[in-house]
Chains A and B, each alone.
Chain A
Amino acid sequence: MTGFLADPAFKHALAAALLVSLGSAPLGVMLVLRRMTLMGDVMAHAILPGVAVGFMLSGLSISAMSVGGLVAGLTVALLAGLVTRVTALREDASLAAFYLIAVALGVLLIALHGNAQEMEDILFGNAQSIDSDMLRLMGGVTSVTLLTLAVIYRPLVVESFDPVFMRSVRGRGGLYHVLFLMLVVLNMIESYRAMGTLMSAGLMLIPAITAQFWTRSLGPMMGLAAVIAFMGSVGGLWLGFGFSLPPGPVIVLIVGGFYILSLLLGRHGSVRARYFPFRHLEA
């Protein structure tokens, strides 16, 4: 039952989990703070038809499916923004319509050209299949994400927190918003191989939501989200490899467990904080 620890596929999957956690947790925190959690979910699903087209053209090739996913994700992000601007419908309604259509289209395309196993791999991921080429790609994406985030950190935070101020100082907030959405799509693509398209939003968003219960400072919030994501990934891979379960859903369920615990016991805004507050301070 512990034989899998020596399996190179397990080591690859662990390294992949670390990379995905580092990159997507801070993005998830920004999505939550910008009240764009639904957008994160939409992006994760929107890449599906692109991945499917890549799969139709060249089989289970990482590069073709990644490029397809990138194109589809960015298209839906831009279309959703456009539709919200030119129609009277509320943004969340437009987004929901978009991602439901995207999932249906993606599933249909894969069903037309693949078998049940391939369908499962794309929807739920296949952590066993992560090889060193895939790891290099993931390392690249995480590095680009963290570097870009470090560079655009200030304007991105200001655009999220006080967009009117940003506009009044001619801060070009729209540019940073688009860069941020591109990073989100890139990271969804990074993680779908391990997590599956249906589960990758869970690893980005749930640790970020969980961290809200423990700290009111932005930096520590991002760090904590990354730690939670990594712990969930390690646990999920362990159980997944040990009991031959698909790791994606197990990982999401473990970070979901952290979420429930934090909801009950966290420092800020939890059930505990509401009904059993600590004694007040002097000032």
Chain B
Amino acid sequence: MGGRCVGHAMTITLRNLTAGYDRHPALHHISGAFKEGSLTAVTGPNGGGKSTLLKALIGFLRPMSGHIDFGGLKPTDIAYLPQQSAVDRSFPLHVLDVVLLGHWPRRGAFGGIGAAEKARALQALEQVGMGAFAHRPIAALSSGQWQRVLFARLIVQDAKVILLDEPFAVIDGHNTHDLTHILTHWQGEGRTVIAVMHDIPLVQEHFPQSILLARELVAWGSTADVLTDANLAKAAHLAGHWVEHAATCERDERARA
């Protein structure tokens, strides 16, 4: 992980962040900070703004108001794994080709890929238990194997911040167990890891930090403090009261006045 600034904590800070689609905020006035080297689960009801938060962090969504302070991180320091539907897996590529894409932030569209880069990619495939599949077509993989390959690409990408949107949604317990350990390993290497999660027991077991979102921020802090029965009930209550034809939000103006 060379090139890390010593003594300058690369904290990502949200300042009164509002983001969403077509003027409807999916994420409403959120403030808080992801410390460097933290492992945070983003949880909450469906439509609560979890994926929206990741999209704002990777820069796919411009904040409607408020802003995100990246603490000196460049856009290419952040890796993003979206929900599974996004990729065309019938494409005639081999597993190794996909993992080699992890070199993109350093090699770009035109840089050469040599023996060292290939060795790194094969090593990453070994790490996720897919070493024997390097030369298989991606169309031949199961969902769990495919998710392992994408994790290998993230390993090669070597980013300081890793965003994952429901990384375990479509895979079985065995795959989930192995890949969760990779998240913990990344945190051990000093990377900031932020994952949207549905499985509350899994979060309680493996994630030190949590955010509970229901469009509004319900709680942000250590997982034990955030995932209490009271907070979960509050999130569920907020989720039951969403309106489609909302009035213009005046909160920013009131705060300024």
Interface residues of A (CB under 8 A from B): 33, 35, 151-152, 154-155, 157-158, 160-165, 167-171, 176, 215-218, 221
Contacts and interface: CB of A to CB of B under 8 A. Distances in A.
B76 A218 contact: no
Nearest to A35: B88
Interface residues of B, number: 23
Contacts of B79: 168
A158 B60 CA distance: 18
Nearest to A161: B91
B87 A161 contact: yes
Interface string B110-141: 10000000000000000000000000010100
B109 A171 contact: yes
Pick the most buried of B60, B75, B101, B105: most chain A CB atoms within 10 A of its CB: B101
- Chain B interface SS verdict (over half): mixed
Contacts of A162: 86-88, 98, 101
B104 interface: yes
Interface centre among B86, B87, B91, B94 (most CB of A within 10 A): B91
A209 to B, nearest CB: 13
11 contacts: A155-B109, A162-B88, A163-B86, A165-B80, A169-B76, A171-B109, A176-B109, A215-B92, A216-B92, A216-B137, A218-B93
Q: Which of A160, A169, A176, A216 has the most CB of B within 10 A?
A: A169
B226 interface: no
A152 B75 CA distance: 23
Nearest to B109: A155
A160 B105 CA distance: 18
Given A171-B104, A216-B92, A218-B92, 14 more contacts: A33-B88, A154-B110, A155-B109, A157-B93, A158-B101, A161-B87, A161-B88, A163-B86, A165-B104, A168-B60, A169-B105, A170-B76, A217-B92, A221-B92
Contact of A33 (B82, B92, B104): B92
Q: 4 closest Cβ contacts across the A-B interface?
A: A155-B109, A168-B80, A161-B91, A164-B86
B75 A154 contact: no
Interface in B49-83: 58, 60, 75-76, 78-80, 82
Contacts of A164: 80, 82, 86-87
B62 to A, nearest CB: 14
A167 B76 contact: no
A195 to B, nearest CB: 27
A164 B80 CA distance: 9
A245 B109 CA distance: 46
B136 to A, nearest CB: 10
A171 B80 CA distance: 13
A160 B90 CA distance: 11
A158 B101 CA distance: 8
- Which of A161, A167, A170, A215: most chain B Cβ within 10 A? A161
B91 A160 contact: yes
A161 B60 CA distance: 18
Interface string B93-108: 1100010010011000
B58 A168 contact: yes
Contacts of B80: 164-165, 168
A170 B75 contact: yes
A160 B98 CA distance: 13
A218 B98 CA distance: 13
Contacts of B82: 164
Contacts of B139: 216
B92 to A, nearest CB: 5
Nearest to B137: A216
Contacts of A218: 92-93
A112 B105 CA distance: 56
B61 to A, nearest CB: 12
A158 B104 CA distance: 10
A9 to B, nearest CB: 39
Contacts of B86: 162-164
Contact of A169 (B60, B104, B137): B104
